[in-house]
Structures are given as structure tokens and as C-alpha cells.
Amino acid sequence: MTELTRPFPWEKSYPEGVTWDMPLKSGTINDILPRTLARFPNQTALHYGGRSWTYTEFTNYIDRAANGLAKLGVERNTPVALFLPNTMWHPVLFFAILKLGAHVVHLSPLDAEREIVHKLKDAGARLLATTDIGAMAGAGQKLASGLSAAGLIERVIIGEDAFWRQGETAPRTAATDRIVSGASLLDHGPIPAEQCPIVATDDVAVLQFTGGTTGLPKAAMLTHGNFASAVEIYRVWSEPQGMINYGGEKVLCVLPLFHIYALTAVLLLSSSIGSEIFLHPRFDTATVVDDIEKHGISSFPGVPTMWIAIANFPGIELRNLSSLKLLRSGGAACPVEIEARIHKLTGQRLGGGWGMTETAPAGTNIPTLGPNRYGTIGLPLPHIIMDIVSLDDPRKVLPIGEVGEIRIKGPNVISGYHNRPEENAKCFVDGYLLTGDMGFMDKDGFFTIVDRKKDMIISGGFNVYPRAIEEAIYEYPGVAEVVVIGVADSYRGEAAKAFVTLKPGTTEFSLEDLRAFLADKIGKHELPAHLEFRADLPKTAVGKLSKKELVAEERAKLASK
């Protein structure tokens, strides 16, 4: 078959008022806040740590931070690493870096040291910003010492969390030749407009790491145009369905801003429509429920583990959740029974969809109204084209209902990975990105994912790559062979299970011992939740370790329960 042409099969299923070719505002991330500031200067932008800031105050902090960063040598195309949980330092520094024409390199607070080293080397970042909040306390000092000594980092900015909770008189981090106080960045006035370069839509804004075929993360090069398009795609999809109230939304942000989902669907989209963002460092069920009641939260994007926790929270039936009107679950499939429970509790459908880091992450969505389409990932969003192609020939488009690999293209899709020419050649065909997801499209244009081409595990909304875990486990004394697969987990959706064979003369060890050994080698979200020893592991005819037999066994166990 040839490439799909209009009208696309999904257009007939679009909600009233939504068309595939709805006009999108052009621009960059740097255009978002000035537009909102002009319209809602006195609207509250962010709540954090018991305090709040208007869009005028928020942009003033960004301009001051940009000036401080410029004095540290940050300029056009400078990569700056953000090693931050949810704190006010993230949105302030994120927008400040982009204002200078530089680009953000996102690190995860869950990253082990070796992962941080790989990402810094790959991105070429010499300046890293972190904070002293919670478990991050002391991390900045350690990174400044270790990474500087290794020649990877020149300076580490430590953003004082107390600055946002107590005000500008809060104690500051002692500065050294390697350490910069975050608060000191804001000592300068707003950066003059003439010192900020004009940014183009094809300029890289963020290097966002995702899994690689070698087991090492690869950086998706997300441009200003990718993000601006994704925000506009979400807007033109949501507005006709009554899901946007300009200057009137109250959005709960407990999803991590270093993750593409929260970055676009919460920070950027909310900022573009003048929403109030209630920012929390982490998810806590009691705090979330209290916030919904106390502040009248209208929008709550989450992941399945959060919705499971809320659905099972003691006394939730007696709580007032009536302000909620836009509920979203992403990152992994949400159990049908949990969707039904949330619907009963709130009167609102728990919306879902699909996207990738590489799509910023707009892809598909399930319409708010109309029949429930449980099991599907929804319809391709406006300006996005998706189809199903043969595994043997990614240029061969398959008929409706036939299973193959999902391809996608649109203005929000990256053009490639940083420093990965071979990966780019494999993943891009005729302008389409090969997603690695196996699925099919039905006659109404709804897509369903049936399996993943890659072995990626989605645990609690985070992507977990088995090969990285396997390589770390191989370092454990006595391990001969290891295979890691994803198994069903009632809370996380999926969790990693390691199957291990031992070298002769060695004895079995506990899961707790293994997790302790791996703690500084892989992220917390990657640690195996299950461990099983085997005398032998399945292999293919050519002697390669095989996972499909183990996956089949686990599925059979689940089915027999």
C-alpha cells in the first residue's frame, strides 16, 4: 500500500470542532511566556513551598537568572545540565537557559553516577545545576568534587530550596571555585533584551535522554519548534472539547518536570494558557487529595501508579473531588478497574493517550466525550500522521486491522538523535519515525498497541531498559548469565524481574543484596523487583539468550491466578 492520504481514517472520529489541519501558532518556547505575560500579568503562575508568584514575578526571576547564567559564560548553543527534582529552580532555570539560546540537558535525580557521566560526556555539558532539597542534599557537593576532578564539569550550581520557601534572605550555599550559589545568580538585574539572541524554530532546546540499542541512553534533539508545535497540538485538540479555560485552570504538578510528559503537558501548556501550577517535589496521596479540595484543582495529569494510590486511599469516597474536570493518565496503561473507580469518584473520565520523548510527547489521545475505547491509545492528534508498516519493510504500509510497527511524523517529531548517525539511519524512514511499538489501526482510526518491538519496561511511568540492568547485574560476583524482563506489577504496571544462572561453586544471594549492589550503578526505578535463579536460561538456535520463553511463562502464571 502507498502512504496514507487525506481524509485520514481518524478524522471522522474527531470530536466536534476539531479538524486535522487546524491552524497552529508558529513560534518557539521563548515566545510562550511573553504572550502569557501580556495577557495575564497579575495571574498567579506558580505555587511552591507555601508561596506563590505571578507571571510578572516569575518572568522577572527568569530574566535575572538568565543574566546570572550569562555572567557564567552561558551563551547560544551552550549545553547546561539540569539535575533537578520538582522545585522552583527547574522552571526558572529552564526558561532562563533557553532565553540565552542555550539548550537544556535533562538529567534524572534517579540516575546513577555512571549514567550521569555518560550523559554529560554525550551532551558536552560543562555546567550543571542541582539543588539541596531532600535526598539531593549533598549531591551537588559530591558532583562538584567527583565530576570536576574527572574533568567533566567546570561548575555546579546549587539552588537553595529555602530561597523559594523563605525568601531572598534565606541562607546561601558557600561559593567556591567549583560551586555557585543558585541564589547568587539572581543578584543581578534582568538581562537586557539585546543580550538575548533570536532563537529559530529549528534550534535545539532540550537534549532529552531515552534508551539506546546499545543499552546506553541516547539524546533526542528536541527543537523549539518541536515543543511549540506539541503545545499547539494539545491546545487545538483540547479547546473545542471544553478542556481549556484561559487564565482559569488550576493544575497539579507532581509529575517530574525532567520527564517529557510533565515538561510539555504541564509546564509549557499550562504556561501558554495562563494556568496556575501547583508544584510539588513528589507525589504524596494525602497531599494531592488535600490540594484538590483546598485549592479547587481543575487539572491533574498523572501516571497509573498515582491513580491507583488515589483510588485506594482510605476515605476517598468522602472527599470532595468535584473541582476536577481534566484527568489524564500517561506513561503506561492504566488498569480498566482503576479507570472505572476514578470515574465513579470524580464523575470524569480518566483520559489517556500515547506519545514518546521523540514526539515531545504528542501522539494520540482519546476524545473526552463519546464511547469509552478501553484498550486503545486513541486517535492521532491534529497535524500528526501515523500508520502501520511491515517489520520486514518499513516502507510498506499495512492494511487496517493488520499488526505491524507504528510510524509517526509531524512538526513535533524530532529529526534525530545527538551523536547517533547509525541510530538515525535505523529509526527514520521517508520522514517517519519508527516507534518500536507494535500495533494496529481500526476502521475508525483508533490505534491499539499490542506489544513492544523493543524490550523496554514501563515501570511507574518511567522507561526502564533491561539491557542496562543486565549489564550491571553481570558485575555481581558469581553471576554467569542474566536475563531481565518486565512482569506485571499491581502498583507500577510493570517491574523488572531478573533471571540468573550462577558460576560453578557460587551460592545464591538475596534480592536485597542484589539491589544494594546495584544502587550506585543504575537508577532506583531500574532496580529489579523480583529475582529468580535458574540452572539454565533459554537460548535461541544460535546460542543467544532468549526472553520470549520467560515472558510466556510469566504470562501463564498471571493467567492462572
Output the DSSP codes for 331-353: SSPPPHHHHHHHHHHHSS-EEEE
pLDDT on residue 379: 97
- 472, 533, 535 from 500: Cα distances, Å: 13, 5, 8
pLDDT tens string 301-326 = 998 888 888 998 999 999 999 999 99
pLDDT tens string 228-272 = 999 999 999 999 999 999 999 999 999 999 999 999 999 999 999
Is it the case that residue 418 has pLDDT exceeding 70? yes
- How does residue 368 score in pLDDT terms, banded at 50, 70 and 90? confident
Rounded average pLDDT over 461-487: 87
pLDDT tens string 186-233 = 998 999 999 999 999 999 999 999 875 456 789 999 999 999 999 999
**Phi and psi (nearest 5°) for 557?**
-60, -45
Is it the case that residue 542 has pLDDT exceeding 50? no
pLDDT on residue 547: 86
Count the alpha carbons within 13 Å of 484 in the hemisphere toward its beta carbon. Answer: 24
Q: Mean of the per-residue pLDDT values for the chain?
A: 92
**Spatial separation of the C-alpha atoms in residues 354 and 19, rounded to whole Å:** 19
| High-pLDDT (> 70) share of the chain, % | 97
- 235, 336, 411, 485, 528 from 510: Cα distances, Å: 50, 34, 49, 18, 12
- 106, 266, 548 from 328: Cα distances, Å: 23, 11, 32
Is it the case that residue 543 has pLDDT exceeding 60? no
pLDDT on residue 222: 98
| High-pLDDT (> 90) share of the chain, % | 71
- Give the CATH number of domain 457-560: 3.30.300.30
Q: Which residue has the cell 492520504?
A: 5
pLDDT on residue 215: 61
Question: What are the sequence ranges of the domains in the chain?
Answer: 51-218, 457-560
**Spatial separation of the C-alpha atoms in residues 155 and 384, rounded to whole Å:** 41
Task: Count other Cβ atoms within 10 Å, centred on residue 429.
Answer: 15
Give the residue, 332 or 280, on which the prediction is more confident: 280
**Spatial separation of the C-alpha atoms in residues 134 and 411, rounded to whole Å:** 38
Rounded average pLDDT over 55-60: 98
Q: Which residue has the cell 541512553?
A: 217
Rounded average pLDDT over 346-350: 92
Rounded average pLDDT over 339-357: 91
- How does residue 560 score in pLDDT terms, banded at 50, 70 and 90? confident
Assign a CATH topology to domain 51-218: Rossmann fold (3.40.50)
